[in-house]
Each structure stands twice: as C-alpha cells, then as structure tokens.
Structure 1
Amino acid sequence: MRKFGMVLAATGLLLSAVGCSQGSSAKTGGEGGSESVAVVLKTLSSPYWKYVEAGAKAAGKDLGVDVTIVGPSAESQIMEQVNMIEDSLNQSPSALVVSPSQPDTVVPVLEQATQSDLPVLLIDTDAEFEGKTSFIGTENYTAGQEGGKLLASMLQKGDKVALIAGALGNEATDKRIKGAKEALEKAGMKVVAEQPADSDKTKAMSVMENILQKDPDIKGVFSANDDMALGVLRALDAKGLKVPVIGTDGTVEAVQSIKNGKLAGTIAQSPYDMGYQGVENAVKAVKGEKVEERIDSGIDVITKDNAQEKLEFLQSISK
C-alpha cells in the first residue's frame, strides 16, 4: 500500500473510541500520531465491515495517524449511527469518514460538519450534500448488474428468479437490486419475488422459505449481500433444491462456500481498499492535497474458477 513519507503536522487528537453502548468500536494508529480520523461504518458486526475496518486500521498504522472506528450493532440501526457520528464530531477529529446506512437521514449532521471546514469523505454508499470531500467505493448499480448477468448466464430465458434486498432505505443494497433486476429482465428472466431481509442471514432464510411456498419452482436467486445469500442457501438446502445463488461482497464465508460448490458466485467489492483509501484520502484532505471527488474501488466477479485465490487474500488480511 502507498505510504506518506513524513510525520503529519499536529492538530486535534481524537479521544478514546466513542459510540452507543450497543455498537462496536476500535482504535488504531501510529504511536504519538497527532492527526486523527474518525470512521463511522454501518456496523462492525459483519465480515464485510470487518474488512473495511481492517483497511482503515492498516492505513492508520502506515500513515502514523490516530484512527477511531465505530459502528452500530446492525445496519438497520439508523439513529444509532447518527448518534455515533455526532459523538465522533464532538471529539474534534481532523477528518470524518462515513458509510451512511440511510443517506437522507445522515446528511443534515454531515452538512453541519462541513460548515466547519472538516473534511468529510463517504465510503461504500454515497450521499449528496454541500462540502463533501469525496466518495470512495464501488458503483453499487454496476455491481448488481454484474451479479444479474452472472446469474442469467446460468439460467434459461423465462426462468423464475428471486431478489433478496437489504434493509428498506439502504441505498447501496437498493442500487444492487435495481442493477440485478434490470440485467436479469433484459436477459429474459422473470422476477417473481423481491423481498428485503435486512442484510441478515437468519431473516434471509425465513424470507426465502416464504418465497418458496408461493413459487417452489424458483430457478435462481440474487442477494444484495453475502450473509443473505448464505441464508437463502440454507432454505434451499432444507428443501433439497439445487438453485444457483449469487451474493454480493466477497466475504470469506461466501468465497469458501463457492469453493465448496455451494454458493454459485459473488460480486466482490474491495472493502479493505475502501477502508484504507478512506483514511488515506482523509489525510490528504487534511494536508490540503488534491482529492478526487469520486474514487472507484472496483469490483471482482468470483466463481469457483478463482475462489481459491480470493480466499487466500481474504485470509491474509483477516489475521
């Protein structure tokens, strides 16, 4: 990874990890680091966000910067995240990096932050507001399209498919579903179900069970994240059905499932890079260096052909 070759100039020191008691937090950075970056994620309770956290921690260590990372107990805890952002701002960080669970709800507090000239960068999920420094992440619509195309390549025209969405109002998962739906319909598939499962494995299993009661002849499923995809697999396995399921995110559990011939594929984002680049570009902004308004962290289509290679990388950053 890229590193800056100088110790950063002193400004405020971010205090100990903040956030509601129900959430999680972590802190890292170089000893004596004087710049500080507050990172507020959608949650720290899923593998995907653990990779984002790992990337942010690595950047803090590489750059000698204090990085505090917090996240609610679940992606559906919208107001808990808003409270965490407010708490983080009260600690006077040098910059703020956020992945908003529900952009419209978070925007007012982010606008307040930019009014004091604080660099505010978004990762994974974008939002429009005055003074935003940058958005870093995958184009979620494109990720969904690639997932839809991959699933369609495994099916026949006219086959019935189901879409498993995230929490209502989650812009990232909504865009993935939109992209997948358009790709599947363009390829001649029939979308007969589109249900939210709150990015939760257990809920996704229950949702899929209900879908199968109405449409037992489902031929394929696209899920807006890997945890839900794995929950869908449980429901299908219980019925003895061999139906291709495509997830999104590229978590270790999902990639292992692909390697084992269970999950058919996943559209991997680059969560580690998002976390790293979020902190890296936040530091650039603090130093007055140019930061691109949009930075694409890219996607990777994972099937059984390349699952082993991806698994080895994920295991290496999870240590």
Structure 2
Amino acid sequence: MKKKLIVPLALIVFTMAFTSFTVWFLMKQDKPKIMIVAQRLDIEYWKIFKSGAEKALQDFNIDGKVIAPESIYPISNQPNMLKKVLTQHPDALIVAPVDEEVTIPVLMEYKKKNIPVLLVSRDIEWEYKTAFIGPDHYALGEMSGKLLGSMLQPGDQVAIIFGVVDDQAMIDRTNGAKKVLENIGIEVVAERSGYDHLANPTPVMGSILQSYPNIKGVIATSDRLALEALGALEKEGVKIPVIGTDGIIKMIEIVGEERVEATIAQNPYDMGYLSVVQAQKAIEGDSTEKIVDSGIDILTGDNAQDKLNFLKKLLR
C-alpha cells in the first residue's frame, strides 16, 4: 500500500506566495519605464500637467514618475536631475527644458544610449528630439491679440507683460500678440517683464498705469502675471480687459465672475497625457508625430464653468 504524500501547509503557503511574487516581479520587469522631468511642481499649471501624465501612466500600465527641480531660476538644477535620471536607465525621457544651453549636453547622453527624448511645453533647437508636445506659443500669442483686439478700437493703447526675458515661449507669445495688435491699429505702448529672478510675479502694472493712464487693455503671457495685473488695476478702480494665457483655476473663476470678459487657456493636462502616449510609441518602435499640438482654448462666461469643474475635480 502506497503512503500518501503529506505536504506541510507552511510549504504550500510559501510556494503560493513565492509564485505570486515571481509573477508580479516578471510583470513589473516587463513594464516600460518613462521618466518625466517638469520645470517645476509648485504651481498649478505644472500640477495639472502632472495629473495628465500620471493618468496616462496608469491607463497604459507604464512604470514612471513625474519629478521637477526644487528651484527653476536663476540657477536650475535640472541638468543634475537629468543626469541622475539617466542612471535609472529609463526607456524614454519626457522633459520640459529650462535652459537650452545647459540642457542639450545632458540630453546628448540620452541620445548616446538610444533613449528617446520628448520635449514638452517649451521646444528647443535640438535635432535629436523625438517629439515636441505642447502649444504653438506664437499662435497662442496671436489668439491673445485677436481676443483683446475684439474688445477694443483702432488707436487704443495696450500693454504686454511677459515672463522671463530669455524664455522662447514667452518671446513667441509676445511677438504673436504684437503682430496681430499692430495689424489692426492698436498701439503696444509698454512691454515689461513681470517676473523676478525666481520667476515669480512682481508688481509692474502700477508703473505702467502711471506712464500710460489711458491704457485700454493688457495681455499677460502667463496667468500669474495676469492676476497680478488685474489686482493692481482693480485697486486703482480701473476696469479694462486683461488676457491671460494658461487657464488656471483662479483666472477661470474671474471669467465666471465677469471681472474679465474672456481669457486664453492652454491644456497642460492633455499635454501631460499626450506626452506619455508619444513616449510609449517611441519605446515600441512606432512612428511618432514630430510636433503634437496640445491645444488652445478661449474661455468665456459660456464655457468657463465646465473647465472649472474639470480642474477642481482633477486637483481635489
């Protein structure tokens, strides 16, 4: 008579746990790894971007993380962060470059290792980039100019408040707006940088008002600049249109409150999501689009609430 083989319960439990761990480990090893380096994560625009990127990572079962330097200006540690990320051997890199001159040498190290590099938000002249995902900043400026121009008359005076002086995105937005305004006979009497050395808004609207008391409108190349300008104008009892360019919650609320008639909004959530989609394509060897436009919207009292509800739910 054959004896029955009795397997200890502890051995069965151990075997099952070991098998589960092995399956989990192999599945994790099979996941592509995408590292995403933003410009910063301490302001709403980039928090929205982060939400979009993380949703795509989750939807496509991708191992990845969104990180950013602790400081952005005057000296960003983004190049050092990129060097550290490289040691983690990602399958693709998504980066919002801060400084073209110091960033490109580090990105060349990714090129040497055949790691696809995708740029977001700000494009730079680098022939080896896999793709750029973001808005057309010149077109954004043009749309800002058209929107403000639709509220004014030829001969009116306006101001443009822009961000960091050497940021190409800010330069493109300013130039696009100026072209449209000048073509319809509206005079740009003031162009001022409204950021300090840490890329935070500083008061400039007050001095513009003193120099040009008859000013009829303002375009700001970021919503934080627009909000600072609007606050200064309201303090002086001056009600003129102020056009922002981001579409953050506070600016949308102001549109809903009819403190401004309309503003321009980007789609940083879509930018984050689409960048991961394109990175996955690059990893899998599929063709990627060289430029992916993440879109620009005009927000008015008619559609502001829908955008506001989406963002509040997103950042809750």
Does the aligned pair in 2 maintain the 1:99–1:122 contact within 8 Å? yes
Q: Which position in structure 2 is the counterpart of 1:39?
A: 36
Does the aligned pair in 1 maintain the 2:71–2:77 contact within 8 Å? no
Q: Which position in structure 1 is the counterpart of 2:195?
A: 198
Q: Which moved more, 1:246-255 or 1:264-273?
A: 264-273
Matched residue type, 1:82 = P
How far is 1:284 from its partner? Answer: 1.5
Q: Which position in structure 2 is the counterpart of 1:100?
A: 97
How far is 1:304 from its partner? Answer: 1.9
Task: Give the greater-gyration-radius structure (CA).
Answer: 2
How far is 1:33 from its partner? Answer: 6.9
Distance of aligned partners of 1:69 and 1:245 in 2 relative to their CA distance in 1, 3 Å threshold: same
How far is 1:148 from its partner? Answer: 0.7
| 2:65 maps to 1:58 | no
TM-superposition CA deviations, 1:117-166 (whole Å, max 9, x none): 10100111111213211111110000110011100111111111110111
How far is 1:105 from its partner? Answer: 3.4
Match runs of 1:212-227 below 5 Å: 212-227=209-224
Instruction: Tell me the SS of whatever aligns to 1:262.
Output: coil
| 2:162 maps to 1:169 | no
TM-superposition CA deviations, 1:207-236 (whole Å, max 9, x none): 111211211221100000111100101110
Percent identity (aligned): 41
Instruction: Tell me the SS of whatever aligns to 1:136.
Output: strand
Q: Which moved more, 1:124-133 or 1:65-74?
A: 65-74
Distance of aligned partners of 1:202 and 1:89 in 2 relative to their CA distance in 1, 3 Å threshold: closer
Q: Which position in structure 1 is the counterpart of 2:237?
A: 240
2: CA distance between counterparts of 1:119 and 1:95? 5
Distance of aligned partners of 1:60 and 1:82 in 2 relative to their CA distance in 1, 3 Å threshold: same
How far is 1:257 from its partner? Answer: 0.9
Does the aligned pair in 1 maintain the 2:156–2:216 contact within 8 Å? yes
- Structure 1: segments with no counterpart, 5+ residues: 1-29
Match runs of 1:1-319 below 5 Å: 34-198=31-195, 204=201, 206-319=203-316
Q: Which position in structure 2 is the counterpart of 1:26?
A: none
1: CA distance between counterparts of 2:231 and 2:126? 41
- Given the two structures, how large is their TM-score scaled by the length of structure 1? 0.85
2: CA distance between counterparts of 1:237 and 1:74? 31
Instruction: Tell me the SS of whatever aligns to 1:206.
Output: coil
How far is 1:75 from its partner? Answer: 4.3
Please provide the CA RMSD for this pair: 2.1
Matched residue type, 1:98 = V
Matched residue type, 1:304 = G
Matched residue type, 2:263 = T
TM-superposition CA deviations, 1:218-275 (whole Å, max 9, x none): 1100000111100101110111100100000111111111101123322211110110
Matched residue type, 2:258 = G
2: CA distance between counterparts of 1:86 and 1:202? 24
Instruction: Tell me the SS of whatever aligns to 2:189.
Output: strand
Size of the alignment, in residue pairs?
A: 290
- Structure 2: segments with no counterpart, 5+ residues: 1-26
Does the aligned pair in 1 maintain the 2:35–2:65 contact within 8 Å? yes
Select the structure that is richer in helix. Answer: 2
How far is 1:205 from its partner? Answer: 5.3
Does the aligned pair in 1 maintain the 2:74–2:197 contact within 8 Å? no
